[in-house]
Structure formats: C-alpha cells, structure tokens
A and B are shown apart, each in its own frame.
Chain A
Amino acid sequence: MANMKELTKGIFRENPVFIIMLGMCPTLGVTTQVFNAIGMGAGVIFVLLGSNIFISLLRKVIPDSVRIPAYIVIIASFVTIVQMVLQAYVPALYAALGVYIPLIVVNCIILGRAEAFANKNTVVDSILDAIGMGIGFTLSLLLIAAIREIIGAGTITLLNLSETTRIVITLPVISKSPVRVLTLAPGALLVMGYLKAYFSWNSERKAAKGGNV
C-alpha cells in the first residue's frame, strides 16, 4: 500500500508540473502539439526510470560532496544513449522530437527526483516514484498541449512522424478561426497560469474540507 502511494503521488498530490512546479522549460516549450507532449513524456519516463534506478543503486557509493556532478553524468549518459539509439534505429521519431531529446538533460524533474527521492530510497520505491512522476508529467503536458492545440490551431495531432505518417484530427468550427496566440509562447504562459490557479484553488479547497492536500 505504501508502495502504491509512491506510484500515485506524482499524478495528483505531488504533480511535478502543477504542484511542485518542476520542468517548466519543456512544459512551456513543447506543448504546441499533443504529439510533442506524448514524445517528451515518453522520453522523460525512460530517462527518469533509468537515472532513478542507477542513482538508488549507487546511493551508498556516491559521496555527498560530488553527488550533483555524479547525477548529471548518469542522467546525461542516459539521454545521450536514447538520442543515439533513436537516431540510428527510429530516425522518423528522432526527427520529430528533435531538440527535445537533449533538453531532457536539463529537465529539473530528473535531477529533482534524483536529489529528493532516489538517493534516499530503495530501488523498488525509486522505480515507482519514477513511473508515477513520469506519468504525472506526461498527463500535465497532454492537458496543456490539448488546450493549446485545440483552441490555438483547431487540431489534435496524435502522430506526426513525417508528411505521410501523420494522424491529425481537424475540428470543424475552431480550425477555421483559431486563437493563434495560444500556440505561441505567451499562450503557454496563459494556459499554465490558469491551470496552476485551478490546481492551487483545488488544493486549498480540499485542505479547508480537512482532506489530504
């Protein structure tokens, strides 16, 4: 039961984007299309899982004074492996994700979970934490991307590997006159701001009722 808490906390109670406010750069940058959110989320889950496992395994070996450089080496190595393997064997996906793959290195969620959780807990708990946080991050990106793409472009891009491998749902009315600002940088801040306000209000409401926040 305690293990299940590690898995589910990242989805709502300690959601990395809306509650802990980690990983803001990729959250604001990649959420122009739903497909980008799926790709970024998958990449983050893989790297978070790998780095959490290794950092948890090495937590008694890595000296405290050099833990941050050691974590960065482990995280950057995982990201580089993902990048090389995708480029060699799934070039279409590599091209679609582009700059977002190396950006995972500087995603605060990865280093944040290494520092706050994996270096203090067992491998099993670290795996559950990585999966929960990764899913929470992915769902948050999907929510923001869906709002931005639907209102800002009138479309939902589910797959976008090339001009011939693409699944895009075009919404009949809004695609004719979309609110384009939502697909631009200010739109990301607007949507993030309103969603953060909603999550804060919801947390306070639950706290006032005496529930768990």
Chain B
Amino acid sequence: MTQYLKVAGILFAICAVAAICLGFINEVTAPQIAAINRAQTEAAYQQIAPGFTFGEEREGEGVVSYNIPLSKDGKIAGYILSLTGGGYGGSFTLVAAYNADGSVLGAKMMGNSETAGLGKKSEESWYMKMFAGLGGDKPLPNSKNDLEDPNLVSGASITFGGVTKALKAGSEYVRNLGGK
C-alpha cells in the first residue's frame, strides 16, 4: 500500500509541477495571443470587405457562428459571416464577405489544421479569389473540375471541398436573411 502511495505521489508531483509551469506560461502568453487573434480578425475584415461600414456582430446559426451587416450609404449591402467547415486536418474557420444577393465578395481562411504545402494554400489570397463573384447569379463550384485550372488545388481536394461547402452554406444563409 505504501509503495502504491509513493508511486502515485511521485506521478502527482510531476503532473503538478508540469501544470504549474503550463499555467504560468499560459498566464503570460494568453493576453498576447488574444490581441494577435483580434488584430488578425480585424485585418481580415478590412481585406475581404474594403470600403464598407461594419455593423454590430449578430449571432448566427448552423455553420454560421455570427454575422456582421455591411453598410454602404446607410443601407445594408452585404454581410460578413464567420463560417465553420471541415477540411483534411479537421474543422476550420473562415470569414467570408457576401453581397446581399449571396455572391462572395471575398473570404479568408482563419484557424485551420490543413497540411502545409497542400491544404494550407487556402490561406493565400489567390485561393479565395477563385470564389469571388460566385454564389449569386453564377454558382459556386461543385468540385475542382469546375475550375479553370484544377491543378491549383491538386493534392488538397478535401480542403477545397470543405471551403466550397462552407461558402455555399454562407451564400444560402445570406439569401435567407433577405437584406435584414
């Protein structure tokens, strides 16, 4: 019995020291990480929807975490949505700006665990430009074969499928909002 208690005590002590060290590092780094995340999100909004006035954040539903109305000349002209999708490395978050008719203005991949050199390409600006203007009169692609150059997303078809599915869901969500 004493032997078991001794072993448990040593393992507990190792875990406790590790937890204290991690707690201390977390305390130091958490505010910095939160500030970086805020700055990155705000920069993404400016990048995907330049020239608009941003409204208050509103709660979304389904794959849409929240929406932010975009105004121009006092009228709602579109929305920014935070979308959750599924990629090769698990779920990802992307922010997308839409016109009120559901067509994509711009999008940016945010938190993700996609493979570097393959799915990670979705973080680059040229990647999301493939979807700009689509989702309204012109449909979003169903597969990479609908692209002019499918080789651009070779090796990362699952990421591409996940991004397309999320953007389609966002487009439908915006149309259902009906400009409100």
CA distance A186 to B89 in the complex (A): 18
B3-11, B76-84, B140-148, B164-172: which lies at the A interface?
A: B3-11
Residues B7 and A65 in contact, CB atoms below 8 Å apart: yes
The verdict on A19 contacting chain B, using a C-beta distance below 8 Å, is no
B interface footprint on A68-86 (CB within 8 Å = 1, 0 otherwise): 0110011011001100110
Residues A70 and B116 in contact, CB atoms below 8 Å apart: no
Residues of B within 8 A of A172 (CB): none
Residue in A closest to B124 when the chains form the complex, CB atoms: A163
A74 and B14 in contact, given A63-B6, A88-B36, A96-B116 (Cβ under 8 angstroms): yes
The verdict on A30 contacting chain B, using a C-beta distance below 8 Å, is yes
A19 CB to closest chain B CB (Å) equals: 26
Interface residues on B, range: 20 to 34
CA distance A88 to B155 in the complex (A): 31
A residues neighboring B (CB under 8 Å): 29-30, 32-33, 35-36, 58, 61-63, 65-66, 69-70, 73-74, 76-77, 80-81, 84-85, 87-89, 91, 95-100, 149, 157, 160, 163, 180, 183-184
B residues neighboring A (CB under 8 Å): 6-7, 10-11, 14-15, 18, 21-22, 25-26, 28-29, 32-33, 36, 40, 89, 112-118, 120, 123-125, 151, 154-155
